[in-house]
Every structure is written in structure tokens, then in C-alpha cells.
């Protein structure tokens, strides 16, 4: 069964809304990567931050108020009209919600705990359910008034990529006719200090695939799609998943699980490697991830397919990375926004000789003009939870 991504709402360090995000994506903006002094106690750290004002959570959903859900709400508002239209056609009980996150409302929990330590009492109205992982899926369903299946996936950095596979399966199984699919993640101290304890944070701008890379920038963002069988310009051609479980925090050094996910995505899409016009790399700029992904991409695609890591513009949005980077594919393919340009790879240009050569594309690189265009996005997580998503136009 063929499914389409009919509408997109997005905000992240590149901007708010499809038009602003697309403009800054294709010109290679790093304006959203800023220094913050409030996330790690002993120093400033560069992060990808959403800078726009966020909408207020409606009073009826005050029990779910948190920054993570406000990020989600800003993205939802961009597709709300399309969701309401499909509800009118199929009913609220036939629209599912599948979200991905890793932070949920943890930032609010951190602030609440700090107040309790300082003053001996929790803030009035605070409840720990705001930081439950399932809060995001519940919030989206309640905000939109949906009664279909609704849940949240938490597989670390592949969470919202895996949401596409789950939503597609729900539609194919006949459990729903459409789904709101996406993810949101928010900057918080726990995440930054956790990655800092692993010596995984970059001292400045991250530098994916460079011999000089020294770690990641953490980012935040949200992206929401309407998925259905109703035909539109961009289709979900296939999703590939794997779980190599090589190590709790380190990837398989040869990228076996990553390569398997990409091959399964190609198989699901019924495409050959040479039919992929662009790859959005996971590209975290950590020593081990870039090395294994470079080997995996080389095994599957060789060295000719145009590719880039957009984390050098947004930071690593963790559980929301998969949905946001699928959004970058959507903007590359959707006729209203597509300019023929590929998202660029920003780095110092010094290749790591230990990584097989890749076709890392600069600003203003144009994808070959064809009636049919397909693009793939990689998401790899702790524990070897891998996902590759293939979107297409004209297939």
C-alpha cells in the first residue's frame, strides 16, 4: 500500500515554518547554533536552539504544559487545517498519532527539582507526568481531538524515524486511514551533561566526517507530518530498520546494522542504490559514528551519491532528528519548495583517511534534474537501533 506525506509542519534552529527552514537549509545557515551558559555548570557550550516565540498550550491541556509540547504545538499548527480536513473525511477515530522523543518534559522536571531543593516544596501545579515519554503522543492526540491509536516511540536518536515505519504499518493493517507522524525534543541539562560525561560534545561547531571532528552539538526541534493514502507530491517509499545491539553506546565499527537498515529501506522502496539522488547522513561528528556510517554508506552506495550531514546547521536533535531530517528530504522534493539544491555539508573540508570517500556536497550543489527523485535519511541510536527512511517524488 502506497502512503504519502501530505503536509509538513516544522521548526528547529534553522527557523519556524517550511519557508524559513527551507531558505536557511539550502543556503547553509549556522545562525541557530549558539553559545549557552545555562546547560553545563562549568562552561558555555554550543547548541542548536529554537529562537522563535512558541505558542501557549491551551488551558484544557495545562496538565501537559512543557516546552517540548509547545515545540510540538508550533509544528502542529502548520498542518492543523489539513488534519481537520481528513478528520471530516474519515473520522477522528481513524487518524492515528505516532511520535518520537527522548526528552519529553524533562527540562520542566529539572526546574521543579531545583525549586524543591532550594525551597523545600515542588512548584504549585507541577506533576511528573509532564516528563513521561508518552506525554508527547498524548498531547498531540488530545490537542487535535483524535481517538485513533496514539503512542510515543523512544529509541533514542532513531525515535522519530521509526515513527514513520510504525505509522505506515498501522495504515497497512487497516487500523487507521491516516496518521500524524513526527517528533519533538528539547534542550535540557540532563541530555547535555550526559553527553558531556561521554566526552562527546564538540568544543565549538561540530565538524562531521572531518579528520578534526571532536564531537556533537546538541539541538532541539519538532517536525509533524500528515501521512495518508491520499495522493500528493511526496511519498514515503520505504523504511528500513535493524537492531545490531553491538554495544550500549558505541555503534558496530563496520556499520553492519546501519548498512542493513539502508538495504532494507531500498528493498521496501523497490529501488536500487543508484536510484537514490541524495542521502541525509546521520553524521553526528563523533569519532565512532562517522567512521562506521562512512563505511556503511560506502558498502551500500559507493562514493558517488550526493550526501551531507545537516547536523552542522541544527545540532543533533536526538529523538526529533529523524523527523526533522525527513522534513529536509520533504523540502528537497516538494515542488513548492524544491529548488534542485541539496542540503549542504558544512565542515572544514579535511577528510579523514580512515573513512571511505563520500560525495559530501557543498552549498549550491544541485541534484540531477529528473522526473523521479528519491532521497534517503539515516538515523542511528544507542544500542544499535537503526532506521533509514526513503522519500520520493514521481515514483
Residues labelled catalytic = 157, 282, 316
DSSP structure string for 274-309: GG--EEE------HHHHHHHHHHHHHHHTT-SEEE-
Q: How far is CA 94 from the centre of its chain?
A: 25
Q: 1: how many CB neighbours lie within 10 A of its CB?
A: 8
238 sits in which H/E element:
strand 234-243
Long-range contacts of 190-199 (CB under 8 A, 24+ apart): 190/103, 190/106, 190/110, 191/102, 191/103, 191/106, 191/218, 191/318, 192/39, 192/40, 192/45, 192/47, 192/218, 193/39, 193/40, 196/40, 196/45, 198/249
- Which of helix, strand or coil describes residue 221? strand
DSSP structure string for 337-360: T--SBPPP--S-S-B-TTS---EE
Q: What's the CA gap between 240 and 224, in Å, rounded?
A: 20
Q: What's the CA gap between 164 and 142, in Å, rounded?
A: 20
- Which of helix, strand or coil describes residue 248? coil
DSSP structure string for 90-134: H-GGGEEEEEE-S-TTHHHHHHHHHHHHHHSSPPTT--GGGGSTT
C-alpha count within 13 angstroms, C-beta hemisphere, residue 57: 19
Measured CA to CA in angstroms, residue 112 lies from 102, 107, 122, 126 at distances of 19, 9, 6, 7
CB contact at 8 A, 385 and 378: no
Amino acid at each position: 500500500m502506497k502512503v504519502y506525506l501530505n503536509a509538513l509542519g516544522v521548526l528547529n534552529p534553522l527557523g519556524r515554518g517550511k519557508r524559513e527552514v527551507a531558505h536557511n537549509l539550502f543556503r547553509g545557515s549556522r545562525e541557530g547554533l549558539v553559545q549557552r551558559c545555562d546547560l553545563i555548570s562549568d562552561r558555555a557550550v554550543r547548541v542548536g536552539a529554537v529562537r522563535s516565540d512558541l505558542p501557549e498550550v491551551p488551558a484544557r491541556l495545562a496538565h501537559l504544559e512543557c516546552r517540548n509540547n509547545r515545540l510540538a504545538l508550533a509544528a502542529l499548527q502548520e498542518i492543523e487545517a489539513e488534519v481537520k480536513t481528513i478528520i471530516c473525511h474519515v473520522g477522528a477515530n481513524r487518524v492515528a498519532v505516532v511520535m518520537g522523543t527522548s526528552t519529553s518534559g524533562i527540562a520542566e522536571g529539572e526546574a521543579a527539582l531545583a525549586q524543591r531543593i532550594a525551597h523545600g516544596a515542588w512548584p504549585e501545579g507541577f506533576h511528573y507526568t509532564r516528563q513521561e515519554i508518552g506525554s508527547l503522543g498524548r498531547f498531540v492526540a488530545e490537542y487535535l481531538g483524535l481517538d485513533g491509536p496514539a503512542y510515543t516511540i523512544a529509541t533514542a536518536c532513531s525515535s522519530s524515524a521509526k515513527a514513520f515505519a510504525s505509522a505506515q504499518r498501522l495504515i497497512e493493517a487497516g487500523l487507521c486511514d491516516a496518521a500524524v507522524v513526527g517528533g519533538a525534543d528539547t534542550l535540557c541539562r540532563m541530555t547535555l551533561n550526559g553527553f558531556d560525561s561521554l566526552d562527546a560534545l564538540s568544543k565549538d561547531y561540530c565538524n562531521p566526517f572531518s579528520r578534526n571532528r571532536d564531537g556533537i552539538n546538541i539541538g532541539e526541534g519538532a517536525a509533524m507530518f500528515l501521512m495518508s493514502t491520499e495522493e500528493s507530491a511526496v511519498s514515503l517509499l520505504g523504511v528500513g530498520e535493524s537492531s545490531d545491539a553491538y554495544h550500549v553506546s558505541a555503534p558496530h565499527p563496520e556499520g553492519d546494522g546501519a548498512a542493513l537498515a539502508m538495504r532494507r529501506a531500498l528493498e521496501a522502496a523497490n529501488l536500487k542504490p543508484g536510484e537514490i539522488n541524495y542521502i541525509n547522513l546521520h553524521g553526528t561528528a563523533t569519532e565512532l559514528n562517522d567512521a562506521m556510517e562512512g563505511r556503511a554508506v560506502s558498502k551500500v552506495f559507493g562514493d558517488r551519491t550526493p550526501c551531507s550531514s545537516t547536523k552542522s546547521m541544527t545540532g543533533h536533535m536526538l529523538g526529533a532528528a529523524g523527523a526533522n531530517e525527513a522534513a529536509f528530504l520533504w523540502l528537497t522534493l516538494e515542488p513548492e519548495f524544491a529548488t534542485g539544491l541539496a542540503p549542504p555539508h558544512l565542515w572544514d573540508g579535511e577528510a579523514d583517511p580512515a573513512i571511505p570517500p563520500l560525495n559530501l556536497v557543498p552549498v549550491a550543489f544541485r541534484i540531477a534534474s529528473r522526473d523521479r527523485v528519491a532521497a534517503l535519511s539515516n538515523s542511528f541510536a544507542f544500542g544499535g537501533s537503526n532506521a533509514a527512511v526513503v522519500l520520493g517524488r514521481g515514483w
